[in-house]
Amino acid sequence: MKRNYSAFAEDIPAYSGPKAARETYADLKQLSAILGHIYTRSELQILPDQRRVSKMPWLVPMLELLPPTSIGHLKEWGLSTVLVLAKNFNKLVHVWGSVTAMVELWHPQTNSFIFPEFEATILLEELEIMLGLPRYQRGEELAISYTVDQINSWSILAYITTKKNDLYSMTRGMHVHLLPIAQWIISQCKRKTTNYTAIAKAAAICICGVILFPEADGAISFGNLSIIDSISEGMKIGQAVLGFLYVGLTSAALGGPFYGSVVALEVWMGMHVQFRAVEDLTMECKTMLNHPLTYVGGRLHMSPRAWCKTAQVKGIQAWRQYLRSLTVADFDMRPRFMHGRTIHLPQRTGLALRLLGNGALVSYNSDCCHLQCGAARTVVPLLSHFPPIQERKRGDA
């Protein structure tokens, strides 16, 4: 893997200032003017409402067999929360009506959701906390911004197995299939081999492929395989997870397939839109029982004893009406888990972080939107795809 921050340092034009942003903000909010956007195509829906996620019947049995040493490696690599979500994967229910209605508000140029009174986006800092991933620190730009040379999937999988039959079964086209990898893990565990690091690496591919980089049922791309492989080397993958989700949201917003971590999206929606922590509430919130927050809410100061603000919102039409009339007062601008957190400013004018994954380069720019997090005022970055279209529009929130 070749990592290079400076290779992309000069080709994105600097942000033109708040005055220009305000002048274009009215146009920016017109999602219906974006060619192919699903905002006005009400017949489209990502998946039927309230459909349970695709089952991976091999996932939980495989995880239950992992030896303690391999589990220790996964935790050491910062995948404890991902492991918990994977163990409970078959219990999750995604409300696809809410996901579809949210995707309809996604702006492909700014990588933000456009609400009537404000914009909002999933921050890198938020995603790292929500999913328990190792966090980016100032000064680590060279370690987290990277390009990927031509990927040889077999050379990565060779750490797991060198048998050609196994490698052929694990790969097809430009994707890696997770089931054969899980079967290899199960066979190693039942034979009580001591190849703990290899088992942990294989398990990381499976759980990250299901929770962080879902694309096709039971398969991940070679690009994401390379990113997952870098976890054991100490690489921070939050930016790659976020970039992949942004690209998937843009694909869906323009009428294409949806991919990326829907778990991360629903946790973000849960914290900002759906639920509110109430310390003296005595009854459990039934709406949260099959929500990802049930399994990660503790680290976010959110328990199942929460107030569901959207309990009466049922079906895609109700979600559309609710989100398209959402006010600042209904959107939690100060989730407790972000109190006192630092939102990083650009390392130089117009550029904060650049993300690369699956052929889509994403630039991480601030200067557009402000949010109160705890006592300190911080800058919330917005993002835009690269290469830029002819006129990139940004807005002040």
311 in a domain, yes or no?
Answer: yes
144 in a domain, yes or no?
Answer: no
16 in a domain, yes or no?
Answer: no
From the list 210, 190, 66, 64, the residue with the least C-alpha distance to 131 is 210
Q: Which domain holds residue 189?
A: 47-136+152-279+287-339
> What integer pLDDT is reported at residue 160 of this predicted model?
86
pLDDT truncated to tens, each residue of the chain (397 aa)? 334 444 444 444 554 555 665 565 666 678 887 888 888 776 665 554 334 345 688 999 999 999 999 999 999 999 999 999 999 998 888 888 899 999 999 988 878 899 988 888 888 888 999 999 988 766 555 555 444 456 778 888 888 888 888 888 888 888 899 999 999 999 999 999 999 999 999 999 999 999 999 987 788 988 889 889 889 888 888 888 988 898 899 999 998 888 899 999 999 998 899 887 766 656 666 777 788 888 887 777 677 677 788 888 888 899 999 999 999 888 988 777 777 666 655 444 444 444 444 455 555 544 433 333 332 223 333 333 333 322 333 333 3
CA–centroid distance for 84 within its chain:
16
25 in a domain, yes or no?
Answer: no
372 in a domain, yes or no?
Answer: no
131 in a domain, yes or no?
Answer: yes
Vertex 155, ends 152 and 161: CA angle to 5°? 135
Residues 6+ apart with CB under 8 A from 256: none
Q: In whole angstroms, how far apart are CA 173 and each of 52, 56, 170, 220, 229?
A: 28, 21, 10, 11, 19
> What integer pLDDT is reported at residue 102 of this predicted model?
94
The amino acid at residue 103 is V
377 in a domain, yes or no?
Answer: no
Q: How many domains does the chain have?
A: 1
120 in a domain, yes or no?
Answer: yes
Q: In whole angstroms, how far apart are CA 354 and each of 52, 243, 357?
A: 34, 9, 10
The amino acid at residue 248 is G
